[in-house]
Amino acid sequence: MPELPEVEHLKRTLEPLLIGALIRGVELRRRDVVNRRVRSRRRRIASADLLAGCTIARLVRHGKNLAIVSKCGRSLCVHLGMSGQMVFVPGRERMGDSMHVHCVWRVQNDNSGGRLVFRDPRRFGGIWTFDSIKSLRQARFEQLGPDALTITPAPLRAALAHSHRPIKAALLDQSVLAGVGNIYADESLWMARIHPASIASAIPAKRITDLARGIRMVLRASIRLGGSTIGTYLDGNGEAGEFAGSHQVYGRAGEPCGRCGRVLAQVVIAQRTTVFCMKCQKGYQQPNKPARA
């Protein structure tokens, strides 16, 4: 499932194909993937709203969101949800699996071009259209916490200081920290040796520093390997990622902890399957400072 590393890797694989490219046309097969849950959604979605006729200037990622920004300012925000893919199909090649293809852009670039294909079987993802990158940022990015790839201890402490939720639940909350999903929440808590049910505000500052470092390390390592392919994730070239083989806890309940050998436990926290080591991940249940009036 696509989380921050998958979206970042996708951005890097798409940039050489899309930057400077002209969108010659757009075929929207399912209009309800565009601007979903937007109250002011216009009845009709013009192809220009989906960047037809525009030249792509740059891609911008925040958390799990990818913005495609055109030279005229019109921008798209893409979220892959659970099962989304953005794949570039060069030239006139057939696309691998055309089931659940919701939008296709005809792209002309230096190498003559191809098609950019948005597929999303489960349809938890979507595409949002904006007249400017500024309005995209306001509507999408500014609702999110700091980007997890560059998270430092101070903002993470600030975001967690008044949260009485389990740390796992807080990490999954995109308004606290943008980009971490179920896989990387479990992996980074294992790295930082913090029990996922620990109450966020009870975790000592030193351990939050470890957690910030753990989050950055796990995300960077995954990006280097092209992300975690679980099920359907593919990058912009249609290739799978290799990081799933490096998972220390996710999907490994019942196997020995790679650090201490204790059998990894599985519980449910915040409605999500959670795998951790009972021996080397320490729990914090009481606030370390008395609440102020």
Partner DNA sequence: CCGGACTCCTGTGCGC
Partner DNA sequence: TGCGCACAGGAGTCCG
90, 272, 279, 287: the active-site residue: 272
DSSP assignment, residue 202?
A: G
Q: Which residues, 6 or more positions from 94, have their beta carbon under 8 angstroms from its beta carbon?
A: none
11 is catalytic: no
Cα-based distances in Å from 41 to 30, 35, 124, 256, 281: 15, 6, 18, 50, 46
Site string for DNA, 108-127 (x = CB under 7 A): -------------xxxx---
Conformation bin of residue 236: beta by default, left when phi > 0, alpha when psi is -120 to 50: alpha
Question: For tokens 């852009």, what's the residue?
Answer: 105
Sorted by sequence, the CB contacts under 8 Å of residue 26 that are 6+ apart come out as 47, 50, 51, 52, 103, 104, 105, 106
Site map for DNA, 21-60, x if CB under 7 A?
----------------x-----------------------
Query: What amino acid occupies position 241?
Result: G
Of positions 138, 273, 285, 288, contacts DNA by CB under 7 A: 273
Is the Cβ of residue 111 or residue 135 nearer to DNA in the bound state? 135
Residue 64 annotated in active site: yes
Q: Which of residues 181, 196, 214, 227 is near DNA by CB under 7 A?
A: 181
Q: Find the binder of DNA among 9, 11, 62, 64 (CB under 7 A).
A: 64
Catalytic residue (one of 64, 119, 140, 168): 64
- Segment interacting with DNA (CB under 7 A) among 50-58, 80-88, 216-224, 257-265: 80-88
Residue 18 Cβ, how far from DNA at the closest point, in Å? 22
Q: Could you tell me if residue 61 is left (phi over 0), alpha (psi between -120 and 50 degrees) or otherwise beta? A: beta
Site string for DNA, 231-270 (x = CB under 7 A): xx-------------------------------------x
Task: Give CA angle at 11 (42, 179), nearest 5°.
Answer: 80
Task: Pick the binder of DNA from 5, 113, 166, 196 (CB under 7 A).
Answer: 166
Q: How far is the CB of 103 from DNA (least distance, A)?
A: 16
Q: Is there a contact between 243 and 225 (Cβ–Cβ < 8 Å)?
A: yes
> What whole-number distance in Å separates Cα of residue 24 and Cα of residue 113?
10
Binds DNA (CB under 7 A): choice among 13, 35, 129, 182: 182
Does 137 help bind DNA (rule: CB under 7 A)?
Answer: no
3 among known catalytic residues? yes
The residue range among 10-18, 43-51, 67-75, 271-279 that interacts with DNA, by the rule CB under 7 A, is 271-279
3-class secondary-structure state, position 267: strand
Whether 272 sits among the annotated catalytic residues: the reply is: yes
Buried b (16+ CB within 10 A) or exposed e, 77-108: bbbbbbbbbbbbbeeeeebeeeebbbbbbebe
Nearest to 206 by CA among 291, 127, 282: 282
Catalytic machinery residues: 2-3, 64, 272
Interface residues toward DNA, by CB under 7 A: 1, 3, 37, 63-65, 79, 81-83, 99-100, 121-124, 162-166, 169, 172, 174, 181-183, 231-232, 270-273
